[in-house]
C-alpha cells in the first residue's frame, strides 16, 4: 500500500515517513502544497496524509483540486488548526478523517488503517480469505493460525492483494502501489515476490491470469473467490 504525506515540517515529515515505512507502507513525502498536489494528481496512492497549513498551496485547496479532478483516495487531514470551522472546511473539501497536532503516532496509524480498510470494503482490522489472515494492526500474516515470515516487500504485495481480493490485480498496478517514487522499479521482480509468496502461503492461493494479472483465491473452495 502506498501513502502520500504532505507535510512542510521537516522533522515531522521524516518521523511520519519512518513510522509509516516501519508499518509496512511505501511512502512519498512532499514538503509543500504544490508538490503534494502534483504527486497526488500524477501518482496512484492508496491514501494521503495532508497538512492544512502548507506553503505555496493551502491543504484545503490541494484537496479541493484533487477531488475536482476525480482523485478519490482517502485523505487524512493533519493540522495544528483546531477551530471547528476549519475542520468543517476540510471535510467539505473532501477529507475522510481529521487529526489535530500534537498527536500520537499509533492513533494516526490506526486511523489510516481504518481508512484503507473501508476504501477496500473491509470492516475488520483482520482481513481473511479462507485460513489466510492478515493482521493489519501488527503487520503480520498467518495460515491456519501459523505465522508466515515475510519480507517488507512481500508483505506489501500480500497486503495489497488481500485488500483487493475479489478482482484481478494487474502487475503494473502492483508495481505502482508497493514501491515509493524514488525506488528503482522493475516489474519483473513482482514475479519473484509472487513466487516467494506462493511458497510461503500456498501455491494455489495466488493465481496468474495470463495477460491480465494476479488473483487471490481460497484454494479450499470449489469456486475461486474473485
The per-residue pLDDT for range 146-175, each reduced to its tens digit, is 999 999 899 999 999 999 987 899 998 998
The values of phi and psi at residue 37, to 5°, are -60, -45
226 in any annotated domain: no
The DSSP-derived string for 45-103 is: -SEEEEESS-SSS-HHHHHHHHHHTT----EEEEES---HHHHHHHHHHT-SEEEESS-
Which residues constitute the domain of residue 156? 126-216
Asked if residue 149 and residue 98 are part of one domain, the reply reads: no
Q: What's the Cα-to-Cα distance from 163 to each of 48, 119, 128, 134, 159, rounded to whole Å?
A: 17, 9, 9, 9, 6
Number of domains in the chain: 2
In a domain, 75, yes or no: yes
Over residues 85-98, mean pLDDT: 86
| Residue that is last in its domain, among 94, 119, 144 | 119
pLDDT-derived band at 70 (thresholds 50, 70, 90) equals very high
Give me the count of residues in the chain: 226
Residue 131's domain is classified under what CATH number? 1.10.10.10
Instruction: Please tell me whether residues 134 and 94 are part of one structural domain.
Output: no
Q: Are 147 and 82 within one domain?
A: no
Same domain, 63 and 96: yes
Q: What is the dihedral of CA 110, 16, 54, 173, to 10 degrees?
A: -80
Q: Let me know if residue 223 belongs to a domain.
A: no
Helix and strand tally (H, E) in the chain? 8, 11
At which of 104, 119, 134 does a domain end? Answer: 119
pLDDT tens-digit readout, 189-214: 888 899 999 999 988 899 998 889 99
Measure the CA–CA gap between 48 and 45, rounded to whole angstroms. 7
> Is residue 79 one of the residues assigned to a domain?
yes
CA distance 205 to 199: 10
Confidence of residue 118 (pLDDT cuts 50, 70, 90): confident
Kindly provide the residue ranges of all beta strands, DSSP E only, lying in 126-174, ordered along the sequence.
126-129, 132-135, 140-143, 146-148
- Percent of the chain scored above 70 by pLDDT? 94
pTM for this one? 0.81
- Answer yes or no: do 19 and 72 share one domain: yes
Q: Where is 111: in which H helix or E strand?
A: helix 105-119
* Residues 147 and 208 both lie in one domain: yes
Residue 163 lies in a domain: yes
The candidate with the shortest Cα–Cα distance to 58, out of 2, 100, 6, 108, is: 6
Both 138 and 112 in a single domain? no
- Cis preceding-peptide flag for 102 (omega within 30 of 0): yes
Looking at the structure, tell me whether residues 83 and 130 fall in a common domain. Answer: no
In this structure, are 18 and 45 located in the same domain?
yes
Residue 8: inside a domain: yes
Q: Domain for residue 111, yes or no?
A: yes
- Domain C-terminal end among 119, 143, 174: 119
Amino acid at each position: 500500500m502506498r501513502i502520500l504525506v504532505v507535510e512542510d515540517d521537516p522533522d515531522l515529515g521524516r518521523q511520519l515517513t519512518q513510522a509509516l515505512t516501519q508499518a509496512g507502507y511505501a511512502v512519498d513525502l512532499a514538503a509543500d502544497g504544490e508538490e503534494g498536489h502534483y504527486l497526488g494528481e500524477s501518482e496512484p496512492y492508496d491514501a494521503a496524509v495532508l497538512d492544512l497549513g502548507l506553503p505555496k498551496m493551502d491543504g484545503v485547496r490541494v484537496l479541493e483540486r484533487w477531488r475536482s479532478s476525480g482523485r478519490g483516495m482517502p485523505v487524512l487531514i493533519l493540522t495544528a488548526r483546531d477551530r471547528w470551522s476549519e475542520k468543517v472546511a476540510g471535510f467539505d473539501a473532501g477529507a475522510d478523517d481529521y487529526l489535530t497536532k500534537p498527536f500520537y503516532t499509533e492513533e494516526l496509524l490506526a486511523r489510516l488503517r481504518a481508512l484503507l480498510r473501508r476504501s477496500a470494503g473491509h470492516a475488520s482490522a483482520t482481513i481473511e480469505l479462507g485460513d489466510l489472515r492478515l493482521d493489519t494492526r501488527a503487520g503480520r500474516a498467518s495460515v491456519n493460525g501459523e505465522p508466515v515470515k515475510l519480507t517488507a516487500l512481500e508483505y506489501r504485495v500480500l497486503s495489497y492483494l488481500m485488500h483487493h481480493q475479489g478482482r484481478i490485480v494487474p502487475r503494473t498496478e502492483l508495481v505502482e502501489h508497493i514501491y515509493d517514487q524514488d525506488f528503482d522499479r522493475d516489474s519483473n521482480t513482482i514475479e519473484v515476490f509472487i513466487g516467494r509468496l506462493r511458497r510461503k502461503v500456498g501455491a494455489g492461493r495466488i493465481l496468474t491470469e495470463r495477460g491480465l494479472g494476479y488473483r487471490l483465491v481460497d484454494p479450499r473452495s470449489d469456486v475461486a473467490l474473485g
